[in-house]
């Protein structure tokens, strides 16, 4: 299939597929005129890339995963990504708790709230050392 057909199939702009090719994530065949021709396996690869991106993986990480022939190496990459995601989730949960506290706070000015002040003090303490 052509680049336009494959891109449309996934709701992407063709330049995205070109970028992924430049990044080493896709290697479409070329016809006699040098035009890209994508196969069903390329479509599967696009679906894998999109799913990995949905999971929060960077293109560099996706490239490393797809290039890793050793299952242990892929496992190491995935474990590192899982740990990073756990850290981001924990930070997001802390942020949500702070926002919910501010919304429920009886103070007219959230900066006068004891919870908010403790959160700020903790941030200062961890920033200093």
Q: Give strand pairing partners of 30.
A: 36
Q: What is the domain range of residue 51? A: 3-67
Number of structural domains (the chain) is: 2
Q: By the 8 A CB rule, do 4 and 14 touch?
A: yes
How much is the pLDDT for 15? 97
Asked whether residue 47 falls in the same domain as residue 24, the answer is yes
- Which of 26, 51, 67 is a domain's end point? 67
The residue ranges of DSSP E strands in the chain, in sequence order, are 29-30, 36-37
Q: Which of 35, 67, 99 is the last residue of a domain?
A: 67
pLDDT in tens, 51-68: 999 999 999 999 999 999
Q: What is the pLDDT of residue 104?
A: 86
């Amino acid at each position: 299939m052509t680049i336009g057909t494959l891109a449309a199939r996934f709701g992407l702009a063709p330049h995205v597929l070109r970028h992924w090719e430049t990044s080493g994530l896709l290697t479409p065949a070329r016809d006699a005129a040098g035009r890209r021709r994508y196969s069903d396996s390329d479509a599967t690869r696009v679906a894998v890339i999109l799913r990995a991106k949905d999971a929060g993986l960077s293109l560099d990480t996706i490239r490393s995963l797809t290039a890793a022939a050793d299952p242990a190496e892929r496992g190491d990459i995935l474990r590192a990504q899982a740990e990073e995601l756990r850290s981001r989730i924990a930070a997001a949960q802390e942020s949500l708790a702070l926002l919910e506290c501010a919304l429920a706070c009886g103070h007219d000015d959230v900066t006068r709230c004891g919870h908010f002040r403790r959160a700020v003090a903790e941030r200062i303490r961890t920033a200093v050392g």
